Amino acid sequence: MIRIYSVGKALHPKHVFRISRASRRQVDNVFLVVEQNGVLGYGEASPNAFFKEDFRDVDMLLAGLNDYFRRQTLTGAEDIGRIWNEIWDRVRPSRAAQCAVDVALWDLHGKLTGKSAAQAAWGRAAKAIPTSATLGICPREEWPERIRELSGFPAVKVKLDAGVDTGLIAAIRARTPAAVRVDANGAWGGLDDGALATISQHLQALGVEFIEQPLLPAMDDRMPAILRASRLPIFADESCAGPDDIAGLRGRFSGFNIKLVKCGGITPALAMLREGKRLGLKVMVGCMLESSLLIAAGAVVAQEADYADLDGSWLLRDDPFQGLAMVNGMIAPGSSPGLGVFPKFPGV
């Protein structure tokens, strides 16, 4: 028998986190605890309004799984996939709720077997992986301080809005050798294809590696022409939520960004990684604003990805979990069983 309970918790970024469509001073995430034979596994959901997710709804859906879990026992890794499938009709359409369950089960499975989640997924110990640090949209007077905070990171993801002000990229370039990536979060849809080609040329000259999600998903029919004209690779984020979206990316995007809360956890994320590799697409593992619990889960998948953008906990000033080391932009997953992280305070 598995017992579960969930709790919502407010998390706060160190700075106001601004992207092209929103700014956040607080996010409300949901933490899930699953218990079997006195062993605890931890999961997390970071609901996102873009996908019509709300922490209250997620918390309610998770509470509704109590009766189901009383009839379950986690005996092996195959049970994680089975449960992932079985709960979908109970939590639909919330991939965030499904993510919290899946991550908690991977953590529990590792603790019950004495293996890290990476060992369970890949058959080997986790390696340290480099991550980018995100620099959200911010006023020019904040640039010097914000750029100083990026010191040591091997890569920087810069958020740009419809104004496409590349001055921040130039300022970063002048102060750090870090790789630079640009994320529009769909904000460039008002620009014509020729303007987008020119922007890609300008960004290439500034040493940018790739562009992420220039248009909203509703405009994906424009992407084949934009990709052909672009001087840079283009990654999908909002246009690729789960495994079923990958086949439609070929010819429209060079790669895609996996986020556990979008697809439903580690289980589908691993499937997405393998399918992307099979199709010759580049794969990045990303995150929302989330604790080091979900970052540790993302790092499991990122072991075999091309890029990682797993700085969600670094962006917070009140991460409620500990145990995950990040030094100079390198994430070093713990070697202890499960995800290797644990709450700082009882009850998360």
Determine the pLDDT at residue 296: 97
Could you give the dihedral angle defined by the CA atoms of residues 99, 259, 171 and 214, in that order, rounded to the nearest 10 degrees?
-130
Determine the pLDDT at residue 55: 87
Residue 169's φ and ψ, nearest 5 degrees, are -65, -45
User: How far is residue 50's CA from residue 238's CA, in Å, rounded to a whole number?
Assistant: 8
pTM of the model as a whole: 0.95
User: How far is residue 266's CA from residue 258's CA, in Å, rounded to a whole number?
Assistant: 10
Q: How many residues does the chain have?
A: 348
Q: For 49, which DSSP code?
A: G
| Contact yes or no for 280/251 (Cβ under 8 A) | no
- Distances, alpha carbon 257 to alpha carbons 166, 208, 287, 289, in Å: 23, 17, 9, 15
User: How far is residue 247's CA from residue 251's CA, in Å, rounded to a whole number?
Assistant: 10
Q: Which secondary structure element, helix H or strand E, spans residue 209, and what is its range?
A: strand 208-212
Q: Which two tokens mark 35? A: 């218990």
Determine the pLDDT at residue 286: 98
| Contact yes or no for 105/43 (Cβ under 8 A) | yes
Question: Using one digit for the tens of pLDDT, what is the confidence trace for 82-129?
Answer: 999 999 999 999 999 999 999 999 999 999 999 999 999 999 999 999
Determine the pLDDT at residue 35: 97
From-to residues of CATH 3.20.20.120 in the chain = 129-343
Fold topology of 3-114? Enolase-like; domain 1 (3.30.390)
In CATH terms, the superfamily for domain 129-343 is Enolase-like C-terminal domain (3.20.20.120)
Mean pLDDT over the full length of the chain: 94
Task: Note down pLDDT in tens along the chain; length 348 residues.
Answer: 899 999 999 999 998 887 877 778 899 999 999 999 999 999 999 988 877 888 899 999 999 999 999 999 999 999 999 999 999 999 999 999 999 999 999 999 999 999 999 999 999 999 999 999 999 988 889 899 999 999 899 999 999 999 998 899 999 988 889 999 999 999 999 999 999 999 999 999 999 999 999 999 999 999 999 999 999 999 999 999 999 999 999 999 999 999 999 999 999 999 999 999 999 999 999 999 999 999 999 999 999 999 999 999 999 999 999 999 999 999 988 778 999 999 998 777
From-to residues of CATH 3.30.390.10 in the chain = 3-114
Determine the pLDDT at residue 18: 79
Determine the pLDDT at residue 49: 80
